[in-house]
Amino acid sequence: MERIGQREREYVLEVLDSQFRSSAGSNMTGRLEKAFAERIGVKYAIAHINGTATMHSALAAAGVGPGDEVIVPALTMASTSLVVLHANAVPVFADIDPNTFNIDPADIRRKITPYTKAIIPVALYGLSPDMDAIMDIAREHRLAVIEDDAECFLGYYKGKIVGTMGHMASFSFQSSKHLTCGEGGMVTTNDEDLANKIRRFNSLGYAGVGAAKGKITKDDIQDPGYARHVSLGFNYRLPELCSAVALAQVERMDELVKMRKKIAKMYSEAISGCSWLKPQDVPDGYVHSYWTYVLKLDTEAVDFTWHDFRKKYMELGGDGIYAAWLPNYLEPVFQQYEFYPGGCPTKCSCYKGQVQEYREGLCPVAEAVQPKLLQLKTNYMDMKVAEQKTDALSNTLKYFA
């Protein structure tokens, strides 16, 4: 299987042949959005330049701004929490479940304050979080839920496809993801008002765009009295060439996801019977899409280290094992911030309670689990190579048995 195949090349040539003129048929972004919405099963899909811009647009659509708090998981790629800072809001970190590694709804509830405006749960590694519990909390406290599904295409939760349960959902087309066009992203929603706000935010606040319309017309811009910009927005639109590649990938979505799930099954068979390596727990009713395959090393049950395991796996023919991200609040950038209720970066007259500071011990489960996680690649296009890596894993287990 090729990551980028003939269909992608044909669509790129179609854009180039159009000379980028809409009148000559260059409307790949519109075609991509329509295809994505239909495949996921939502009313609106709005393409973005990357999977961080997607969440920024979603936060803006939800009305998140200075002084607001947004609850995010402690364990995930940092864009999920950095984008809250982009919105001039305050990231509040919730702990994780020790077995699924996803955000813990019970800790979400504990972290809610009068300033909480939204929740961004992440489908970590391709596994949905507990969306029923999260949506119940959101309804109770009137919070917006933005699914971060960058790592999850065609995952399912109790029969529902991931990306359809929150008020909005964000997907990524970054180069390591199930679908890619090098960089890119998509926001989905069933709410027309939110879709209108998302579109305007990612299109410089143009008056002439909307939920299902990504371009302004010549009739509009050829009027000298036309007021173009009705709200603040960024230029977060996805270029036509990237849209061409992404469209072909959407049309191949089932094939690309199936390949990763097949490789994950091979890894599962290889570790069967091993008591000191535990895969990410997949609860009943969930379907994992395996952006990557993750194992938790029981460091208390073995006499070797995480680094020892990685080194031996590579010696025996495996690729380098990826580590999980540090809990976001322990990254140096977050050590620069200290927020008081109301979003003030220092104590002032609006201070009313406990400071929101980023320190060790904030999310103890995430801190305990993170150093034990081993992330194995699933994006092998050649199954013979995948078999070699699985054999390397099996042989590594035998070495340490």
Q: 178 and 377 in contact (C-beta within 8 Å)?
A: no
Q: Alpha carbon 306 to chain centroid distance?
A: 26
d(CA 211, CA 401): 57
From the centroid of its chain, how far is CA 155?
Answer: 12
Strand residue runs (E) in 32-129: 44-48, 69-73, 90-94, 116-119
Distance of CA 65 to the CA centre of its chain: 21
Assess contact for 48 and 69: CB atoms under 8 A. Answer: no
Order of strands, edge to edge, in the sheet holding 90-94? 44-48, 185-189, 168-172, 144-148, 116-119, 69-73, 90-94
DSSP label of 238? P
- In the residue annotation, 111 being an active-site residue is answered as no
DSSP 264-328: HHHHHHHHTT-SSEEEPP--TTEE---SEEEEEE-TTS-SS-HHHHHHHHHHTTPPPPEEPPPPG
Q: Could you give the CA distance from residue 385 to residue 342 in angstroms, rounded to a whole number?
A: 53
Nearest to 214 by CA among 230, 198, 227: 198
User: DSSP letters along 342-365, please?
Assistant: TTBSS--TT--S--EE--TTSSHH
Determine which one of 43, 111, 158, 177 is catalytic. Answer: 177
**Cα–Cα nearest to 143, from 100, 172, 171, 111:** 111
Phi and psi, residue 192, nearest 5°:
-65, -40
Q: Is 121 helix (H, G, I), strand (E, B) or coil?
A: coil
Own/partner pairs, 24-27, CB within 8 angstroms, 24+ separation: 26/240
Distance between CA atoms of 355 and 378, rounded to whole angstroms?
A: 41
Q: Active-site residues: which are they?
A: 177
